[in-house]
Amino acid sequence: MSVEVKNAIKQFGAFTALDRVSLKVESGELVALLGPSGSGKTTLLRMIAGLEFPDNPQESQILFYGEDVTTIPASERKAGFAFQHYALFRHMSVFENIAFGLRVRPKTTRPPEKEIRARVEKLLRLIQMEPLGPRFPSQLSGGQRQRVALARALAVEPKVLLLDEPFGALDAKVRKDLRRWLRQLHDEIHVTTLFVTHDQEEALEVADRVAILRAGRIEQIGTPDEIYDRPASSFVYDFLGNVNLFSGRIKDDSVVIGETAFALTEKSGAEDTDAVAFVRPHDIRVTRSASGQSTLPARVVRCHAAGPLANLELERLDGGGWFTVQLSREQFHELQPRTGETVYVELKTVKVFAESLPINYSI
């Protein structure tokens, strides 16, 4: 176990940022902390770094490789932290930024100048910015700045690397490249890494495991497959991607929506109650004719087919509202739906959660 947080509480005035959070991270893992803004993910990261302290120091603990660091200040915790807006020192060159953590060490543990140079050069190679050492941060692009921030955090050979929204301030294109680069870098150097993000795609693509936070609690933690395929709550399900909501009623192992019963993939545990069924847009099949009895009639409101996937917006004929369907290009060309016509939809995978809450948060 390389990083462990136990039972941490943090409040800012009336706002609860962390509500008894516990988290375990294995050595060498790359873990994403995913959640909407205000869910406490950055606070958790800052607490691990020692930039915040828990409100309940008696009950809570933070351990690095089994060593209790709860009361150790940030300057002695040896956690590498990269800030969302990089926080590079404007008055220092790239080289000096990276060397900073080594230069501020007390004389007894400070490496000799030659070794500092060698280490910075090595890091510059690692971030593929060897010739840019003498530049100032203002002369770099956003992606380059982020890499310098990473190198600076790595220079002190941290026990854990903590990244706050590492790609948050970048363009979509640079973001994707850097994401891949981070994954590669991690496979190369294998330092335990936690990063904060509000982008589910990023978390699912990059991380070994993803922790989903909501209102100061960890809602679910698991591998990307686990949380995508077996979400623990409606919140997780909704947060991980687009979703259609159908209100219906649970009967036996199926859910009745309008007139039609659809089989549930897992037992809901509830019996004969009102429920909300969750269906992903790509888990819906659309046909021209009511083939079986498990179809719902709907009218095509709008189709747009630009890009690799086509989106249909449909309106239920029984007045149950609108929903979205995603089709592949081939499926779309096969079907050739026209606005206004009636089609029949089959819900392939339906999820029902025991909580009876209509979700209306927005991210």
**Interaction site with another protein (CB under 8 A):** 12-15, 17, 36-38, 42-43, 49-52, 73-81, 83-85, 87-92, 100-101, 103-105, 136-141, 152-153, 155-156, 360-362
- Cβ 350 to another protein, closest distance in Å? 27
Amino acid at 105: R
Q: What is the rounded CA–CA span in Å between residue 279 and residue 244?
A: 5
Whichever of 25 and 257 has its CB closer to another protein, that residue is 25
Q: What is the rounded CA–CA span in Å between residue 173 and residue 362?
A: 25
Q: Retrieve residue 308's tokens.
A: 């690799």
**What percent of the residues of the chain are helix, what percent strand, and what percent coil, each to the nearest 5?**
30, 30, 40
- Cβ 73 to another protein, closest distance in Å? 8
Would you tell me how many other CB atoms lie within 10 Å of the CB of residue 158? 20
- Identify the three-state secondary structure at position 226: helix
Whichever of 152 and 351 has its CB closer to another protein, that residue is 152
**Residue 261's beta-bridge partner residues?**
256
Q: Retrieve residue 207's tokens.
A: 């991380």
Are 41 and 196 within 8 A, CB to CB?
A: yes
- Cβ 107 to another protein, closest distance in Å? 12
- Cβ 12 to another protein, closest distance in Å? 5
* DSSP string covering 121-159: HHHHHHTT-GGGTTS-GGGS-HHHHHHHHHHHHHHT--S
- Cβ 352 to another protein, closest distance in Å? 24
- Cβ 141 to another protein, closest distance in Å? 6
Whichever of 14 and 306 has its CB closer to another protein, that residue is 14
Whichever of 12 and 322 has its CB closer to another protein, that residue is 12
**Residue 313's beta-bridge partner residues?**
302, 324
Whichever of 196 and 277 has its CB closer to another protein, that residue is 196
Residue whose C-alpha is closest to residue 153's, from 61, 45, 244, 247:
45
Angle at which helix 94-103 crosses helix 113-126, to 10 degrees, equals 130
- Cβ 212 to another protein, closest distance in Å? 16
Residue whose C-alpha is closest to residue 172's, from 194, 151, 202:
202
- Cβ 110 to another protein, closest distance in Å? 10
Whichever of 336 and 360 has its CB closer to another protein, that residue is 360
Residues 6 or more apart whose CB falls under 8 angstroms from that of 241 comprise 200, 228, 280
- Cβ 60 to another protein, closest distance in Å? 16
Whichever of 253 and 321 has its CB closer to another protein, that residue is 321
Whichever of 164 and 202 has its CB closer to another protein, that residue is 164
DSSP type of residue 283:
G
Q: Retrieve residue 237's tokens.
A: 């399900």
Are 87 and 169 within 8 A, CB to CB?
A: no
Whichever of 155 and 277 has its CB closer to another protein, that residue is 155
